[in-house]
Amino acid sequence: MLYTGSTTKQFTAAAASLLIDDTANASDLLTWQTPLVSQIRDDFVLQDEYMTDHTTLEDALSHRTGLPRHDISWIGYNASIPDIVRKLRYLPPTAEPRTKFQYNNMMFIAVSHFIERFTQTKLGAFLKARIYEPLGMKNTFFSLADAKAASLTGRVSLANGYAWNNLTQDYERLAHMDFPGVAGAGATISTVMDYGIWIRSLINEAAPLSSAGHAALRYPRITRPSLFGGSKTGFEDFEMYSLGLTVSYYRGELLISHTGGLPGFATFMAFMPDRKWGAAIMANNLEGGVSLNNILMFKLIDDALGIPDAERYDWEQRERDNLSEEMDKLENARSITFPDCPDPPLSLSLPLAEHVGLYVHPGYPDINITLGTHKGHEKHGEGVVEREYLQSTSFYQLNDEVIYTYMEQVTGEFFFVRVRMYTDEVPLSGKYSPWLDITMKAEFKIGEDGTVLELGVLIEPEMGEEKIWFKRV
């Protein structure tokens, strides 16, 4: 068994379809246009009143609410489903509703909350009773405790997840994620055999979903640019998103799919309904697993379509090129992030130690900044000198791994930030990892009294140059 990440989203949408069928003749009728606030008004609040009142099940399940990911606001921190949903009120939207595809895990967690409130049943229990058991998916679970219990029977085993550490050039075993809050966005633990059963039911439009439910899951709600390279790879230049599933055309063939990834695990499931063909691939490593899943999946699809070797796209080379490009970005991230930095840079307004402190935001985890030192080469001088820097260390509570943040002053009150997963080492070696290293821009705001008041960080890419501001306490 492996964690299957965001492929969970199609099960969440399927659960909603069952509720819509159940209430077809009831007084509390549900439709895809039912607003989320009809069940969770006390928790579901967005910054815009219209968006709050009119965000529907369909909107939330097709990533078209106007809200970007804001994943750092909740991923890795042991919050409950309602706690995560309540964070939405503090997170700025970046598009008008129903105008732009913006992947958002939090909305699937909000739908989980909706379903649990409506049914008075945990989503995992609902899925087990209405989908897993009717289909005979005996090795599919929604919690680590249930998966471990099944593994003790000897019927099935729970795989360990691994992360590639580019510093040590070796794999490191990760603790199993135990985070119920991820819910309908990515909580599923399953096997390729069970996913084969699920995919077969989708291809054949079989029970337990109704014909209307199957049609709803496939029907496109919004478009986005192709994730797999467009026409040069055999895809159209755009693809569509339905409800927890991606709908695209590969070499003229209808292809319905979704990927999933969590620390230590990667999944890719896809099917071609017109060919009655489908496949699921799972890996117990996220970094290489995503690349390997892509390479293997498109080999299997090309085999199924009978594509001659000479006409096949080189997916392996594409993955190598993408990795090389991401590595180059990490190596040159400082100059990319600050292309117009003066030389020599402007001095800090205050000593570095004056920036130390606790910074808080109602929608994001606290940032506790301390002072550190490292030895480095002096750019405008000679030799090796000891430099001070700002740092912050926290724990990724999904599986108790370390998140290390290094902040280097660039010019004035602007800082370059590197966030490194699974190690507390200062990320200066150059051995970066595209899946474990993140870079950001940060700025401190000085008040009239000459003290640091706020820290602004470019956390959400969809917000462009607009920062999330943390107040110093």
Q: Are 56 and 33 in contact (CB under 8 A)?
A: yes
Q: Are 117 and 41 in contact (CB under 8 A)?
A: no
Angle between helices 8-22 and 105-119 (to 10 degrees): 40
Per-residue pLDDT at 431: 76
Which domains does the chain show, CATH number per domain? Answer: 2-219+251-311 (3.40.710.10), 334-472 (2.40.128.600)
- The average pLDDT across 145-168 equals 91
Per-residue pLDDT at 388: 85
Q: Is the pLDDT of residue 333 over 60?
A: yes
pLDDT tens per residue across span 81-116: 999 999 999 999 999 999 999 999 999 999 999 999
The lowest-confidence range among 44-53, 206-215, 395-404 is: 395-404
pLDDT band, residue 233 (cuts 50/70/90): very high
- The average pLDDT across 153-170 equals 88
pLDDT band, residue 37 (cuts 50/70/90): very high
pLDDT band, residue 443 (cuts 50/70/90): very high
Contacts with 175 (C-beta within 8 Å, 6 or more apart), sequence order: 399, 400, 401
Q: Are 395 and 416 in contact (CB under 8 A)?
A: no
pTM over 0.75, yes/no: yes
pLDDT tens per residue across span 287-327: 899 999 999 999 999 999 999 999 999 999 999 999 999 99
CA-based nearest residue to 177, from 193, 192, 156, 160: 160
pLDDT tens per residue across span 385-399: 677 899 998 866 566
Q: Give the integer Cα–Cα distance in Å for 29 and 470.
A: 42
pLDDT band, residue 78 (cuts 50/70/90): confident
pLDDT band, residue 426 (cuts 50/70/90): low
Per-residue pLDDT at 165: 79
- The average pLDDT across 138-154 equals 95
The distance from CA 37 to its chain's CA centroid, rounded to whole angstroms, is 24
Q: Give the integer Cα–Cα distance in Å for 299 and 316.
A: 10
Q: What is the mean pLDDT of the chain?
A: 93
Per-residue pLDDT at 164: 85
Per-residue pLDDT at 420: 85
For 437, phi then psi, to 5°, come to -115, 135
**Angle, vertex CA 240, rays to CA 203 and CA 460, nearest 5:** 125
Q: Give the integer Cα–Cα distance in Å for 10 and 6.
A: 8
Q: Is the pLDDT of residue 379 over 50?
A: no
C-alpha dihedral, 133 to 135 to 138 to 140, nearest 10°? -90
pLDDT tens per residue across span 340-350: 999 999 999 99
pLDDT tens per residue across span 68-77: 999 999 876 7
